[in-house]
Amino acid sequence: MDLINKVLERIKPSEEEHKRTIELAKNVIDELKSLLDDIDAEPMLVGSVAKGTNLKNADVDIFIRYSPKYDRSTIEKKTIELGKKILKNPLVNYAEHPYVRGKFEDVDFEIVPCYRVEESNRKITSVDRTPFHTEFILKNLREWQRDEVRLLKQFLKGIGIYGAEARVEGFSGYLTELLVIKFGTFMDVLKNAQRWKRKTHISLDNTKKDFESPLIFIDPVDPNRNVASAVSIDNYSLLIFSSREFLKNPNEKFFFPGQYKEFDLRKIDERGTKILHIWMKRPQVVDDILFPQIRKFARYLSENLMEFSITKIGYYVDNNVHLIIESYYHDLPPLMVHEGPPVWSKNSEDFIKKWKGRAFNGPYIMNGKFFADIERRNRKIEDAIMKLISSGSIGKDLDKLKETIVFSRDPSTIDLKELSRVLDYRFPWEL
């Protein structure tokens, strides 16, 4: 297919780039070995570059496998020290372990600590199984399938669901490799994905184990682990739908979507909706801790502000945490209809006693039930949100910064690119 070849030309590293990347990785490993003389540890190339499934300009992952005799603080401090010595512009990032990101010559590298364990299911930390993943893929992925993995990775990137980190909740590189091993080719993965139902179980050896996830792929190196645990229900659903759409009409835009057009703020009134901008200080925690809390906050608001007819809640993060709420109402009428029990219910008398003389209208009977028109406590959406925030948790770290929350009904206070993304309901391949 001409389309597939065109995509591969854009995403596959040239032979020259591949050789140079491997050579630089060897140089980094040699330098690390020279600095690890007195320590029981060895560096190892892992990840997509090691497996030959990398896209152009991919990061190079070097893991240092330490003896389990060292405690975590020791291996973390040593890795940071080594990374700062070897890499240019080193930056210490944090996941389960701190790791160092920087450049060796002009290529991005990550140096990560882990423990050397005999079997992946005897891991001490979650990253200890990564070398086993690399070895498994090298043994089981055929040479010609490497390009099939690249195509699947770029497809997932194009529709915005590539990456298992909490910011994305999508498909990891390892999961894409396993899917190709299971089904054969990029096209075969899509042909199978288009038929997935509410829950899908996959394994390479017919292992059956259930998890609380829409997609379950049993890790062949650790049968107690679901490789697809990070995939959200929405991203799982998006792969099903995008697979159908691509198979009906293959198009390069699935791999390389257009950009969101800047939204004309003057057209917000034409939509018939309102925009509310909420922001608060960003907690000093890593993304994998922060983003689940932001999603919890957004879900909490969506579930408890139904009377304001919310259509969408988007979010983004810079030095602050921002929520963008699109709804049909910012302000509600002074009265609301309060539904009571059926007339024949035992507690109907309690309803009458409570509201007789207090309700604006009623109590009255309609369709066999008592009702009363009562005064609405929170007419403004901001007041309703503040009440929710004060009475419930919005996340362990966000809770600590509740007092920094600011509201604005002016959409010009929002980053225009982020606002445009939230207000554009098209799928990425439709841009």
Domain annotation for the chain: domains and CATH numbers: 2-130 (3.30.460.10), 145-254 (1.10.1410.30), 265-331+379-430 (3.30.70.590), 335-375 (no CATH)
3-state SS track over 38-97: CCCEEEEEEHHHHHCCCCCCCCEEEEEEECCCCCHHHHHHHHHHHHHHHCEEEEEEECCC
pLDDT value for 62: 97
pLDDT value for 382: 96
pLDDT over 70 for what percent of the chain? 100
pLDDT value for 298: 95
Return d(Cα 329, Cα 416) in angstroms, integer: 22
> Model pTM?
0.89
Task: Give the chain's length.
Answer: 431
Apex 224 CA angle, 221 and 226, nearest 5:
85
Sheet with 310-317, side-by-side order of all strands: 310-317, 320-327, 274-281, 406-408
Return d(Cα 266, Cα 19) in angstroms, integer: 53
The continuous run of DSSP H or E covering 103 comes out as strand 98-104
Those residues of the chain that have pLDDT short of 70 are 120-121
The alpha carbon of 383 is separated from its chain's Cα centroid by a whole number of angstroms, namely: 30
336 DSSP β-pair partners: 374
pLDDT per residue as tens digits for the range 290-343:
999 999 999 999 999 999 999 999 999 999 999 999 999 999 999 999 999 999
Return d(Cα 329, Cα 311) in angstroms, integer: 10
Instruction: Report how far apart, in Å, the C-alpha atoms of 263 and of each of 240, 323, 417, 429 are.
Output: 29, 17, 8, 18
Instruction: Report how far apart, in Å, the C-alpha atoms of 362 and of each of 261, 286, 369 are.
Output: 51, 53, 12
Return d(Cα 369, Cα 292) in angstroms, integer: 41
pLDDT value for 121: 65
pLDDT per residue as tens digits for the range 206-237:
888 999 999 999 999 999 999 999 999 999 99
Q: Is 14 left (phi over 0), alpha (psi -120 to 50) or beta?
A: beta
